[in-house]
A and B are shown apart, each in its own frame.
Chain A
Amino acid sequence: MRHDQPELIDALASEYVLGTLRGAARRRFERWRADNWHIATRVHTWEGRLMPLALGLPPVTPGADVWRAIEARISAADGSRSAPLRRPVMRALAAALVLCVIAAGGFFAWRLNAPPLQPVAMIKAAQGADVWSIEIDAHGAQLRAVALAGAAPRPGHSFELWALSAKTGGAPVSLGVLPTSGQLERTLDASQQTALAHALKIAVTLEPPGGSASGKPTGPVLFVVDLKKSA
């Protein structure tokens, strides 16, 4: 594009902001804008000029799920950005540091600072003994499963937890494999959070080791229990 044609640049910027510059022309203009401060300035000017048209619309309140999904997505994005360490030396140092922290009991200090989780379901054996307590945090983003009695699946199998969500058309959404002893805590992704937020019940099935590979339950349903919803 010739930069000595201010009228043409301004006309393109105005049609770009208006939204009538489409297709290949729009993409080409976006490339020019990214490379050229002068073009970007014209775009900003037109955005400021025309935006009052959109600011006059009556606000529409988003559904409650929207914010929860945003939180989950930025957690996931921030986590994945800090995770990869490119240099092997740095990776080794990081691994050593993690071991030291665990050895020093840092894990327990972290647990004390973690947001409180509330029990939302108790999974009981047929005889009435408590087998797992399922707990989630106030945002429905963190899930902890605590094995209370010895829960040993048949050899070569795992227990898998599912949210029975009305939102996904009744299709169960996996919440992960359950521990057979101790406890297991995990951060739920956006789809798991949405499913859990809309679920009235959770279920446990018997699956291959590590859980169902297909994302759908394949084994027998062992337990279905109600979720306690907070007021």
Chain B
Amino acid sequence: MTESAANPLDAELEKLIGACAARDRGALRQLYDLMAGQMLACMLRIVKRRALAEEALQDVFVSVWQRAAQFKGARGSARVWLMSIARHRAIDVLRSERADLYREAQIEELPELASDTTGDWSSSGRSAAELARCFAELSREQRRGIELAFVNGYSHADIARATGEPLGTIKSWIRRGLASLRQCLES
């Protein structure tokens, strides 16, 4: 069990991933019941269209079934491992569907920042609390850039379009924001 499995949900997920590696389909179903909703929420924010997101979610669970044995050596928590597979799949789908998405879902309104409006994301464990603390030290623009990219799957150009700021400025916000986060989280 990894260090992060001190979280009961992570411990349960680790056990289920291990059972998937032993070809236990019941375990995959339990994983699905525990995580599919959260994974779909994340993917839907990125790919924007429900049918695409649900199809990509299928890909993710098929991939988890096939790659479960690789988790043993993976670093980090089971939840992060699962969510990362989901995010990367969503980004891949977004990349391939990009042109269509622009036609259908124009970026006109800026989503509100989770860090401005809710405390939800900052109340789920030690790593989340650390991120919340360091996030609070960033400028609002840096937070906005990082959240739009990570949660909504926006590219630098998308963020420039959404905020009306020059592309170079956006790149700079994000680069400096990430550097500040790193410094804060490693201090």
Contacts and interface: CB of A to CB of B under 8 A. Distances in A.
A141 to B, nearest CB: 12
Contact of A53 (B25, B74, B121): B121
Contacts, number: 147
Interface stretch (B11-19, B100-108, B179-187): B179-187
Contact of A41 (B42, B75, B153): B75
Contacts of B62: 70, 73-74, 77
Nearest to B170: A20
A215 interface: no
B84 A51 contact: yes
A56 B28 CA distance: 23
Nearest to B159: A20
A59 B128 CA distance: 17
Interface stretch (A8-16, A104-112, A121-129, A177-185): A8-16
Interface stretch (A61-69, A87-95, A198-206, A218-226): A61-69
A19 B91 contact: yes
A30 B4 CA distance: 25
Query: Per DSSP, are chain B's interface residues mostly helix, strand or loop, or mixed?
Result: helix
A53 B41 contact: no
Interface in A70-98: 70-71, 73-74, 77-78
A158 to B, nearest CB: 32
B128 A52 contact: yes
Interface string B6-49: 00000000000000000101001100100011101110111000
A66 B58 contact: yes
Interface in B124-156: 124-125, 127-128, 131-132, 146-147, 149-151, 153-156
Contact of B122 (A48, A51, A52): A52
Interface string B59-90: 00110011000000011110110011001000
Contacts of B156: 20
A50 interface: yes
A154 to B, nearest CB: 41
B114 interface: yes
A70 B80 contact: no
B80 A18 contact: no
B162 interface: no
A228 interface: no
B79 A18 contact: no
Contacts of A74: 25, 28, 61-62, 65
Give the interface size class of chain A: 35 or more
A67 B150 contact: no
Interface in A38-59: 41, 44-45, 47-59
A60 interface: yes
From A15, A54, A60, name the one whose CB has the most chain B CB atoms within 10 angstroms. A54
From A15, A57, A59, name the one whose CB has the most chain B CB atoms within 10 angstroms. A57
Interface string B159-186: 0000000000000001100110110010
B150 A54 contact: yes
Nearest to B174: A20
B127 A49 contact: yes
Interface of B: 4, 23, 25, 28-29, 32, 36-38, 40-42, 44-46, 54, 57-58, 61-62, 65-66, 74-77, 79-80, 83-84, 87, 91, 95, 114, 118, 120-122, 124-125, 127-128, 131-132, 146-147, 149-151, 153-156, 174-175, 178-179, 181-182, 185
Given A45-B76, A65-B54, 7 more contacts: A17-B150, A49-B131, A50-B131, A52-B127, A57-B45, A60-B41, A61-B40
User: What are the 8 tightest A-B residue pairs by CB atom distance, in nearest-first order?
Assistant: A56-B121, A59-B37, A52-B128, A56-B120, A57-B41, A14-B178, A44-B75, A60-B41
